[in-house]
Structure 1
């Protein structure tokens, strides 16, 4: 299956170190070679990069590893196709607009007999079960909270509660590890594998498990910085990663799980 990488922090931070290790799993240290993608929130905008090439061979991935784009919310994905052929339109993460802001989604897993009726503005472009699930979640949230014409949007606790009702309906069809963000926070759900680490003061040196690379975060941070990294499998060998429980839906805000 695919693998997920997310970052949520209290100040704009680059994800170069974590993405460098993660990208190696896209064809070098693992077999996720059917495309990849990453999305960075910057203010109200999103920088969105996808490629149907393996991350390890993609010139765009090389750019991301060398270009320190800073963001408070990032979602990345490396693909091992289960549904949908290898093509650009099937690469995660997917992006949609709702309530005047962008939403970004990525999924790891395989959904069987999942064929919800779509009757609103959200429609898949590609042929993956993942994009279909994203469109259904967006449709369901819009049905519950309105189209935003009133000028208001649901609060994070309201969204968390709504997703707590909706996500199990999708997960009932198979494996549904996912990440979802509107740029203000990061929602994560674990069916099988997901873990996180929170980097905060006092910062230490971290060493990647997929690449001979270490970073002393005390040299590139301030005592007020706080960064949560969420990933399918731990990225480093010398940090303590907390594993999600199966079925757990967790919200990250300002670098902390809620």
Structure 2
């Protein structure tokens, strides 16, 4: 399957350290050689780099590691194709516009019978993957539920969690979604996250001989949360999400969370 990586931060931050580890799993230390992509948000705008080549061999991926773009919200994906050909239009992440914002989505997993179970009519896939089809279905459901007016963040993301749970019934649906302000994660079977804040320490990548001392790279006010399919470092404590758990982050901190076990009631809330 594929692997996901995302970041939410309270100050513009580059993701070079984490991406350096992830890209090695795209054809070097891992089998995810069927393309990769990353989207960086800058205010309401976003820029994406995508390549159907393995990330470990991609000159564009090398550029990303050498050009530290600073952002408060980032989504990355490395692909091991199980639905759709290896080509640019099937390469994650996917971005669509809704309510005057760019929504970016990446998925890890595989869905069965999705074309019949997840009908789409407004947002039509460009490529041929189950992943993009599920994204279009999610956007359709938002359109039919809320129309042209975006609801409150709490109402919106609880509804997204509900739709994610429906899609998850078709197989494996690990999801990362962002509109640039919020970062939403839904766990089907495999997602981990870590929040780094003062006092900062050192971190060492699993997939590359790279270490960083975050005390030298940050201020005491910085807060950065990283989400990944599998932990990227071997000397930090990552939180493993449970099946059907969802987390919502804003500016690096948890804003809302929940699970199917307590449907409609968040486990943890903060100002959103």
TM score, norm. by length of structure 1: 0.97
For residues 18-57 of structure 1, what are the structure 2 equivalents within 5 Å? 18-57=18-57
Distance 1:164 1:210 in 2: 32
Q: Counterparts of 1:30 and 1:214 in 2: how far apart (Å)?
A: 20
Aligned partner of 1:219 in structure 2 is 216
**Could you say which residue in structure 1 is the equivalent of 2:92?**
92
How far apart, CA to CA, are the structure 2 residues paired with 1:164 and 1:2?
21
Alignment of 1:63-78 (within 5 A): 63-78=63-78
Alignment of 1:94-133 (within 5 A): 94-115=94-115, 116-120=118-122, 122-133=123-134
Point out where structure 1 has 5 or more consecutive residues left out of the alignment. Answer: none
Question: 3-state SS of the aligned residue for 1:111?
Answer: coil
What's the CA shift for 1:156?
1.6
2:6, 2:76 within 8 Å by CA — same for their partners in 1? yes
1:246 aligns to what? 243
CA distance, structure 1, for counterparts of residue 12 and residue 137 of structure 2: 30
CA shift at 1:253, angstroms?
1.4
- What are the superposed Cα offsets for residues 49-82 of structure 1, whole Å, 9 maximum, x if unpaired? 1100000111110010011101111000000000
Please give the secondary structure, in 1, of the residue aligned with 2:103. Answer: strand
RMSD across aligned positions (CA)? 0.8
The separation in 2 between residues aligned to 1:124 and 1:95, in whole angstroms, is 11
Distance 1:242 1:50 in 2: 28
Give 5+ residue unaligned stretches, structure 2.
Answer: 257-272
Is 1:154 paired with 2:121?
Answer: no
Q: How many residues end up aligned between the 2 structures? A: 253
**Aligned mates of 1:254, 1:124 — CA distance in 2:** 30
Query: How far apart, CA to CA, are the structure 2 residues paired with 1:9 and 1:204?
Result: 17
**Post-superposition CA distance 1:146-195 (Å, at most 9, x none):** 124xxxx2222111111122111100000000100000110001111100
Equivalent residue, structure 2, for 1:208: 205
CA distance in 2, matches of 1:234, 1:155: 32
Instruction: Report how far residue 143 of structure 1 moved.
Output: 1.2
The ranges of structure 1 where at least 4 consecutive aligned residues each deviate by more than 2 angstroms after the TM superposition are none
The one of 158, 161, 166 aligned to 2:163: 166
Matching residue of 1:10: 10
